[in-house]
Amino acid sequence: MPHTSRNSRRLRRWGLAAVAGVALATTAVAGAGASPAGPGKPDPSTASGEPRLHGSAGGHLPEFFGQWAGDAVAFEIDARGMTGTFDVSHTKPDGAFVAEFDGDITCLAVGGDVAVATGVISAGSADVPGSGITDLTGQKVAFTVYDDGRQDRFFWQWEFLGAPINDCQGTAPVFDPSWGGFKVSGEMF
């Protein structure tokens, strides 16, 4: 059964994410080259060199998603090293529930501007075709993000839909979100 309190939280977050996205874009243009440490100083959030993936993004699924084309999806990922969290929602154009789940990151690999994060769902459910509402607890997921600055791309895989998920293994990032973005930083070695 869908998490109704989480649905309300997600809707508020989507609205806040849109507002925050505009504010961040305005700030980025106004303060290009600046860091929290001050002009000319390295950003302390990436100074450790530890692999990091964080942000939120989403949009409507394109035609190649078949039965899910036009559905709204939202992703939030915060991973550092081999730990972190993720939060995912998927709704029909009329707002009807498709999936909502969150969990823990178990592996993060970074190579340049690309990150692959895998994890395990700790709570959530989905309306799985042929099975109805299904508890997703314990299922594996994978996210691949290409941080392209202005227009990130990402993609995902779900064990509960039959995708084989191996630690830190992803797929080509082919989804272009209509809002938000991710930041990939750090190095593997």
Q: What is the mean pLDDT of residues 78-106?
A: 96
pTM, to two decimals:
0.75
Residue 154 has pLDDT above 70, yes or no: yes
Mean pLDDT over 159-183 rounds to 95
Write the pLDDT tens digit of every residue in 13-51. Answer: 433 333 333 232 322 333 333 333 333 434 444 446 899
Reduced 3-state DSSP string for 126-151: EEECCCEEEECCCCEEEEEEECCCCC
Q: With H, G, I as helix, E, B as strand and everything else as coil, classify residue 65.
A: helix
Tell me what the mean pLDDT of segment 91-120 comes to.
96
Report the C-alpha gap between 154 and 158 in whole angstroms.
Answer: 14
Q: Place 189 in a pLDDT band, splitting at 50, 70 and 90.
A: low
Q: For 103, phi and psi rounded to 5 degrees? A: -175, -165
Q: Summarize pLDDT for 111-151 with one digit per residue, the tens.
A: 999 999 999 999 999 998 888 999 999 999 999 999 998 88
